[in-house]
Amino acid sequence: MEQQPSSVKPIAMLKDELDIVIPTVRDLDFLEMWRPFFEQYHLIIVQDGDPSKTIKVPEGFDYEMYNRNDINRILGDKASCISFQDSGCRCFGFLVSKKKYIYTIDDDCFVAKDPSGKEINAVEQHIKNLISPSTPHYFNTLYDPFRDGADFTRGNPFGMHDAEFTHGNPFSMREGAKTVVSHGLWLNFPDYDAPTQIVKPLERNNRYVDAVMTIPKGTLFSMCGMNLAFDRELIGPAMYFGLMGDGQPITGYDDMWAGWCMKVICDHMGWGVKTGLPYIDHKKASNRFENLKKKFNGIFWQEQAVPFFQSVTLPKECTTVQQCYLELSKLVKKKLGTVDPYFIKLADGMVTWTEAWEELNTTPKGN
């Protein structure tokens, strides 16, 4: 077979089915390092902060960029649900994308290397995570049983057809569940909260764990938005990064809020959430003392929010993500509204998000 000249680039996996969403307040020089892995994908850049500032994007990338004026123009009064001066603004990119998958990354995250020194193609690994099944109903001690060189360990049930897990869809444990979220990790600066960053300012994560695992059903986790991919068509309506930043009493919990809501809904729908590979190199750009000031309320509120999400059971009548999400917003208002009036505003933001999602993503009847 004729040798392809080395100049011919391999076609990127699912290049027309995935958008890369980047929230930013700075020039995007970091894309230069990602060029081999990103340049065949369409980018959606959400510019936060001063809309009159020009964000420079290196030549050769296919992108659309939205600033606050665009968000206000497109969403009108619904723009109130999108954070300003917080990385949570990235969810606007999820809203306007038309692709099946989303990969979102922060602009201080760079290409990491695996222990062999090979550069990690984070997008490709996330896609592999998303297109292979999950095992939320029984923890596999060899981690991902669908990975080459691994399988289900002894005792893992074969034919348990537990329709309740997936709303009546036939389900076999050994075929696994649909994967809807792939949560990547970070070398260098780990995603620590402000108090931990202050106590351990020099701590870096140098531990490369060669594993991808499904987060068990019924277990919550801290979803970090800096290296994250998901099936937008399935779980997109639940990926609202909560209203934080300017004018709000909290910031930096946007992604975790989305993660708690998403996980409760995935457990209800019988879908899987994976965490582990791929790694990126996180060269932290924010100030830990600033973070403490901005994220202070969150440190207290999380102690009540997490038990709330652990207690949630969604009614079986909720068979779509939107229905689950609206039900969740009612519970947030009822149960967390007594913690602080902010949660009433956040619950309203969840409803506005759902309306915005419907408006931008549902083809009008008769079309």
Ligand X SMILES: O=c1ccn([C@@H]2O[C@H](COP(=O)(O)OP(=O)(O)O[C@H]3OC[C@H](O)[C@H](O)[C@H]3O)[C@@H](O)[C@H]2O)c(=O)[nH]1
H-helix or E-strand containing 330?
helix 321-336
* Interface contacts to ligand X, rule CB under 6 A: 23-26, 48-49, 85-87, 89, 106-108, 191, 224-226, 252, 254-255, 284-286, 291
* Minimum distance, C-beta of residue 158 to ligand X, in the bound complex (Å): 40
* Minimum distance, C-beta of residue 106 to Mn ion, in the bound complex (Å): 5
Nearest to 253 by CA among 194, 310, 197: 194
Which of ligand X, Mn ion, none binds 19 (CB below 5-8 Å, type-dependent)? none
Q: Please state, in angstroms and rounded to a whole number, the distance separating the CA atoms of residues 256 and 250.
A: 12
**Cβ-based nearer residue to ligand X, 254 or 267:** 254
Q: Please state, in angstroms and rounded to a whole number, the distance separating the CA atoms of residues 348 and 330.
A: 9
Is position 108 an interface residue for Mn ion (rule: CB under 5 A)?
yes
**Cβ-based nearer residue to ligand X, 47 or 125:** 47
**Which range of residues in 21-29, 100-108, 171-179, 228-236 is near Mn ion by CB under 5 A?**
100-108
Q: What's the farthest any 2 CA atoms get from each other in the chain?
A: 69
**Cβ-based nearer residue to ligand X, 252 or 272:** 252
Query: What is the number of residues in the chain?
Result: 367
* Minimum distance, C-beta of residue 55 to Mn ion, in the bound complex (Å): 17
* Minimum distance, C-beta of residue 90 to ligand X, in the bound complex (Å): 7
* Minimum distance, C-beta of residue 228 to ligand X, in the bound complex (Å): 8
Q: CA separation (Å) from 4 to 13, 40, 262?
A: 18, 19, 44
Q: Which residues, 6+ apart, have CB-to-CB distance to 310 below 8 Å?
A: 220
Q: Between vectors from CA 319 to CA 273 and to CA 307, what angle results, nearest 5°?
A: 55
* Minimum distance, C-beta of residue 225 to ligand X, in the bound complex (Å): 4
**Cβ-based nearer residue to ligand X, 217 or 284:** 284
Q: SS3 letters for 343-357?
A: HHHHHHHHHHHHHHH
Which of Mn ion, ligand X, none binds 86 (CB below 5-8 Å, type-dependent)? ligand X
Q: Please state, in angstroms and rounded to a whole number, the distance separating the CA atoms of residues 150 and 158.
A: 16
**Cβ-based nearer residue to ligand X, 231 or 255:** 255
Residues 293-352 that bind Mn ion (CB under 5 A): none
**Cβ-based nearer residue to Mn ion, 108 or 254:** 108
Q: Token match 């902010």: residue?
A: 342
Which of ligand X, Mn ion, none binds 24 (CB below 5-8 Å, type-dependent)? ligand X
**Cβ-based nearer residue to Mn ion, 23 or 236:** 23
Kindly state the number of chain residues that form the binding site for Mn ion, as judged by CB under 5 A: 4
Q: Please state, in angstroms and rounded to a whole number, the distance separating the CA atoms of residues 253 and 223.
A: 9
- What's the token pair of residue 347? 């619950």
Residue type for position 116:
S
User: Which residues here bind Mn ion, judged by CB under 5 A?
Assistant: 106, 108, 284-285
